Amino acid sequence: MQKGESLNLLDVREPVEYHTYNIGGKNVPLSRLNDTINQLGYNKTDEIIVICKVGLRSETARTILVDKGYQRVRNLTGGLIGLQKLKQ
């Protein structure tokens, strides 16, 4: 992100969490991911970085996406809290 690269970020937190603080990307709550997976707009070969608050929901989402055939899905380990700690 610091290099200005365009990343495919998928934030799986609830909308209120996303609107309180986010680093961009699409917001699709984990509870709706299975129902909206075909509308994500990503190719199954795109690299997708899944994010949440601490990395638990995003790991679940990563597993769901891989099970649906997405090949390059990564979880932001430590989530947004971990990212904020790195910035301090």
Whichever domain contains 37, its CATH number is 3.40.250.10
Q: Which domain holds residue 19?
A: 9-87
pLDDT reported for residue 87:
75
Pick the closest to residue 51 from 72, 71, 81, 31 (CA basis).
81
Which sign, positive or negative, has the C-alpha torsion 32, 34, 38, 44?
positive
Q: Which tens digits make up the pLDDT trace of 11-41?
A: 999 999 999 999 999 999 999 999 999 999 9
Residue 3 lies in a domain: no
Residue 45 lies in a domain: yes
Domain count across the chain:
1
Question: Average pLDDT for residues 69-84, to the nearest whole number?
Answer: 94
User: d(Cα 2, Cα 11) in Å, to the nearest integer?
Assistant: 18
User: d(Cα 45, Cα 33) in Å, to the nearest integer?
Assistant: 18
Residue 4 lies in a domain: no
pLDDT reported for residue 88:
66
CB 58, CB 12: distance < 8 Å: yes
Residue 55 CA to chain centroid, in angstroms?
9
pLDDT reported for residue 3:
55
pLDDT reported for residue 5:
62
Mean pLDDT of the chain: 92
Residue 2 lies in a domain: no
